[in-house]
Amino acid sequence: MSEILNKAKAHFREVLAQGLKGPIKVPEWDAEVWFKPAINFHQESRVIELQNQGKTAEALVEMLIIRALDKNGQPLFNKADKPEIMREIDPSIILRIITEMNDGETQQAVDVALGN
């Protein structure tokens, strides 16, 4: 294994070792959402694939499922929840959570999803 690969892997382990970030307060749900500071590329590829298919809203829901955790680091949602999330949860709340998780990095995706 190359030295640069070892350094890159060590860096990512350091990022993940920072612990959970948050909470994002969601008063509408009487809940707090926590999240890890990063996700791996394998997880991100599912989101990118959906975006490339023009399924921006579904990509945002996938990101919520992947990243939203409770204060103990346990997932708040699972893949089986996706249809309900897509149909029965206020999109503006999901967008707000994802935007806060990414400190505005997904603002372009949010704007697209909102039709702006």
Residue-wise pLDDT for 88-100, tens only, equals: 999 999 999 999 9
Rounded to whole angstroms, the Cα distance separating 33 from 68 reads 6
Stretches in the chain below the pLDDT threshold 70: 1, 104-116
Residue 15: predicted pLDDT: 86
